[in-house]
Amino acid sequence: MEDCLFCKISKGEIPSNKVYEDEEIMAFYDINPAAPIHILVIPKRHITSLAEIEKKDEVLIGKIYSVINQIAEEKGFKQEGFRVIVNCGKNGGQEVMHLHFHVLAGTKLGEKIV
């Protein structure tokens, strides 16, 4: 999608600090980390938000969680634990309108809402 920041990052048009990449999925460090480790995992194909996920995306979304697990293992925070957050829409506080999974790790995370 034109004028989408994360589409541009997924195409390499905007640089990122890449953690993982395959044909469908990419992960990179958040530019404004909210924890010692803060990684964003995105589908390369533009999906606006969690609310736009369709039946055909189910395998892809499952694969994203598998990739998150793999990254946790490789970066060494799997044992200590981590948190995955998806902000969706206005009330969810989503700012970049391309589906992304925040992966937060490296400290005992506070502000537990649920």
Distance CA(35)–CA(29), nearest Å, equals 11
Residue 16 lies near ligand AMP (rule: CB under 6 A): yes
Q: Which of 56, 93, 110, 113 binds ligand AMP (CB under 6 A)?
A: 93
Nearer to ligand AMP by Cβ, of 79 and 91: the residue is: 91
Cα–Cα nearest to 28, from 108, 101, 114, 109: 101
Residue 87 lies near ligand AMP (rule: CB under 6 A): yes
Distance CA(82)–CA(31), nearest Å, equals 18
Distance CA(74)–CA(1), nearest Å, equals 31
Cα–Cα nearest to 41, from 65, 58, 75: 65
Question: Taking contact as CB under 5 A, which single stretch among the options 13-21, 26-34, 46-54, 80-88 is the one that binds Zn ion?
Answer: 46-54
**What track of x and - describes contact with ligand AMP for positions 46 through 85 (by CB under 6 A)?**
----------------------------------------
Q: Provide CB contacts within 8 A for 59, sequence distance 6+.
A: none
Question: Taking contact as CB under 6 A, which single stretch among the options 61-69, 74-82, 89-97, 103-111 is the one that binds ligand AMP?
Answer: 89-97
Hunting for tokens 């793999």 — which residue is that?
Answer: 70
113 contact, one of ligand AMP, Zn ion, none, CB 5-8 Å limit per kind? none
Q: Which of 26, 27, 94, 103 binds ligand AMP (CB under 6 A)?
A: 94
Catalytic residues: 100
